[in-house]
Structure 1
Amino acid sequence: MLTLKGEQIFLRALEPEDLDFIYMIENNEEIWEMSATQTPYSRFLIKQYLENAHQDIYEAKQLRLVICDLDETVLGLIDLFDFNPAHNRAGVGVLITDKKLRGKGYGKEALALVSEYGKTHLHLHQLYANISVDNVHSIMLFENQGFEKVGVKKEWSLTKDGVYKDELIYQLIYVH
């Protein structure tokens, strides 16, 4: 049985065929603020990234999974990043690319699957997420999955409009 399969979605590893999808996401200026990106990525760099995506999470310190519906339509990405096996923690981020598909439970199910995977397979003690104070949908998503707001980084991110925004820190500490 596939560990990373839910009722509506499944999570899979990146494939070479994801080049155009990743290129579109990484070069979408609307999401740069969330990912701290400031410059576009070339197809060449993304192709190199995909060629190395097979690296183990212990080597790469990150894991990017594609969120697909059961018909194998690509819906978005979920990332474990800043993986720290010495302290048993990782950051997590979720993106459903089509705004019309947000709020339908895909991100919720992906986050639940990755949270369980982190606990049972990676033996994590905790996951954390950094969420912009105005990202109400993400705040609700993470809170509904048991993440707790533990702090605020004041004036953390500078928007393209020249405004500094606070960033919230959420944690999910597993009970073992």
Structure 2
Amino acid sequence: MQSSPYQPGPSRPPETSEPARMPGALVFVLVVVAAHALGTVFGGWAVLEENQSKQEHGQDLLVPTGVAWFVALFCWGLAALQVVCVVLARKRRTWVRVVLIVCLAFVAFSTVVGFLGSLAAGAPSLAVFVIAGIDVAALWVVCGERGRHWFSVRSPAPTSPQG
């Protein structure tokens, strides 16, 4: 005799599902974002330090003091936002993906502009070229299917370890 789906059958213990594993490509992206956050914090500090040093030695300032503080605070705010996204990425919220896309697009654009600037100066930097490539690849992953799938609240968790 078959049991009908509408009749109560033997009770099953609740399934214990292990937490979903984040795809390796997204883990790489989060490492890149964390590294950029650290560099951005240092960059904001460096602008203030350089301005202070020039002022102490009676030289022309790098930028006006108000602008230096604006740049530093912007850098620190961006870094804090990036760290929050890295920490909350496991929660699979759509807004985290959107913020990551915006931050990575900003960083990738800035790095590409920096590389083009080094080309125009006649001293192309291999390091800046590699970082620009990594930034574009990270942006590609977050904008792509893996990023869309992982950060979608409605999609089921990936079942394979690779994602």
Q: TM-score range by the shorter chain?
A: 0.3 to 0.5
Higher helix share: 2
Q: Which has the larger radius of gyration?
A: 2
Higher strand share: 1
By relative contact order (CA 8 Å, sep 6+), the higher-ranking structure is 2
Structure 2 length as normaliser, TM-score? 0.33
